[in-house]
Amino acid sequence: MGLHGSAVTVGVALGAPLAGAVIDASAPPWGFVVIGVIGVLVTAAVLPAELRHRRAPAPEPAPTPEPAPLAG
């Protein structure tokens, strides 16, 4: 949850000024379009790595050694 919260905070901190600059340069709908396109591009860049990470097989647990029989 911490990583998600940090990502949202960074997205808002970077997206708001960028959307404002685009809105000032053109029209309000373009602010939404530009931020949406950037979101799709970031998702497309990160998704393959995330899917590879999720598909990686879990490491097999190391076998536990059998105790040696007592000499007696």
% of the chain with per-residue pLDDT over 90? 53
Mean per-residue pLDDT, 4-28 = 93
Structure tokens at 17: 């000024």
pLDDT in the model for residue 51: 87
Which tops the pLDDT comparison, 66 or 19?
A: 19
Q: Please, what is the angle between helix 28-55 and helix 2-25, to 10°?
A: 150
Looking at this protein, which amino acid is placed at residue 24? Answer: D
pLDDT in the model for residue 72: 59
Phi and psi at residue 42, in whole multiples of 5°?
A: -65, -40
Q: How far apart are CA 71 and CA 50, in angstroms?
A: 53
Q: What kind and span of H or E run contains 43?
A: helix 28-55
Give residue-wise pLDDT tens across range 7-18. 899 989 999 999
Give residue-wise pLDDT tens across range 38-61. 999 999 999 998 888 777 677 777
Structure tokens at 44: 């497309």
